[in-house]
Amino acid sequence: MDRLLMNRVLVVIVNYYTEQDVYDQVMPFRDTGIHFMIVDNGSRQKATLAALNTLSNASVACSPGNLGYLNGAFFGIKTAVSTGTLPDWVLISNPDIAFTGEFFEKLSRIDGSRFAMVAPRLVSGRTGKDQNPYMLDRPDRKNLERLVQIHRWPFLANLYRLGREIAHELRIPLPKPDVEPGGSIYAPHGACMVLAYAFLKRFHTLRYPAFLFCEELFLAEQARRFNRAVVYRPDLEVFHKEHRTTSIFRSRELVEYHREALVYYLKTYARDWPQE
């Protein structure tokens, strides 16, 4: 691995009681030029995080409470930048993502000045299929409104999730956007979002108004705002183990977080879309 090229990449991992997964993600790249910023939103295995913090290319930042996924990542990015880390690419990663050296080599050679995000080939550990592109176009307004109604009741929301999980486990194909490699899409899968730092610098403030969910849609709208492309790059491959920090059946609190994120997105970005 070319150490100078690797210095161009920052990986931000948001931990919430997933210390072993974080450890497994970082250790194959210990003492390389890739820098890992681990944001601790909540942990039990403090010794595991402490061990990672001793590595030359890893830092642990304890957030002031549970900030959620995207705001936790933003906290990590700001912390890294304040210490002098100025990467070309920032990866916001679930702890259950597995990278390869080849992935980082290829990414570090891409000029990110024209892009907001790239969506890698995200191989599902359960189905073996690519989870990208996540969305080719903006979501349908009526579907969003339907999802908001479904998420008013935890029972309906969990029934909806169960139906999608059954289809997933049975490998029943769900509608999937078709796009050529290198083609533009609307949004990548949120488990591993690869952002150009030149795009992130355009934010006046790194803050997501919701707590959890719909993070990729928020970032997709920022890309539209700044006229930066989101592209699908299947030559960049990562593996998604699909361990969950939340179970299939969500609590009332998590269902409400999802509803709030949907309502925020609908009111902020979809209010002026034409009715179909």
Distance CA 46, CA 222 (A): 35
CATH of domain 3-137+177-245: 3.90.550.60
**How far, in Å, CA of 30 to CA of 11, rounded?**
13
Residue-wise pLDDT tens digits, 48-59 = 999 999 999 999
Amino acid identity for residue 30 in this structure: R
pLDDT digits (tens, 9 = 90+) for 212-232: 999 999 999 999 999 999 999
The whole-number pLDDT of residue 84 equals: 82
The number of residues making up the chain comes to 276
pLDDT reading at 149 higher than 60: yes
User: Where in the chain are the domains?
Assistant: 3-137+177-245, 140-175+246-276
Q: Is the pLDDT of residue 274 over 80?
A: no
Q: For the segment 22-33, what is each residue's pLDDT rounded down to a tens digit?
A: 999 999 999 888
Quote the pLDDT of residue 217.
96
Burial per residue of 157-190, b for 16 or more beta-carbon CB atoms within 10 angstroms, e otherwise? bbeebeeeeeebeeeeeeeeeebeeeeebbbbbb
DSSP letters along 80-107, please? HHHTT---SEEEEE-TTEE--HHHHHHH
| Sequence letter at residue 138 | R
49 CB-near residues (< 8 Å, 6+ apart): 15, 19, 22, 38, 40, 43, 60
Q: What's the average model confidence in pLDDT over 42-48?
A: 96
Distances (CA, A) of 212 to 56, 121, 196, 218, 271: 31, 24, 22, 11, 21
- The DSSP H or E segment spanning 16 is strand 9-16
Tell me the pLDDT band of 83, cut-offs 50, 70 and 90.
Answer: confident
If pLDDT is split at 50, 70 and 90, which confidence band does 6 have?
low
- The DSSP code sequence of 159-188 is HHHHHHHHHHHTTPPPP-----TT-B-SB-
| Three-state secondary structure call for residue 207 | coil
Q: Does 204 have pLDDT greater than 70?
A: no
Question: What pLDDT shows up at residue 270?
Answer: 82
3-state secondary structure of 231: strand
Instruction: For residue 80, give both structure tokens.
Output: 């890294």
- pLDDT bin (cut points 50, 70, 90) of residue 201 is confident
**Rounded distance between C-alpha atoms, residue 111 and residue 209, angstroms:** 30
pLDDT tier at 273 (50, 70, 90 boundaries)?
low
Question: Stretch 46-74: mean pLDDT, rounded?
Answer: 96
Spatial contact of 227 and 202, defined as CB atoms under 8 Å apart? no
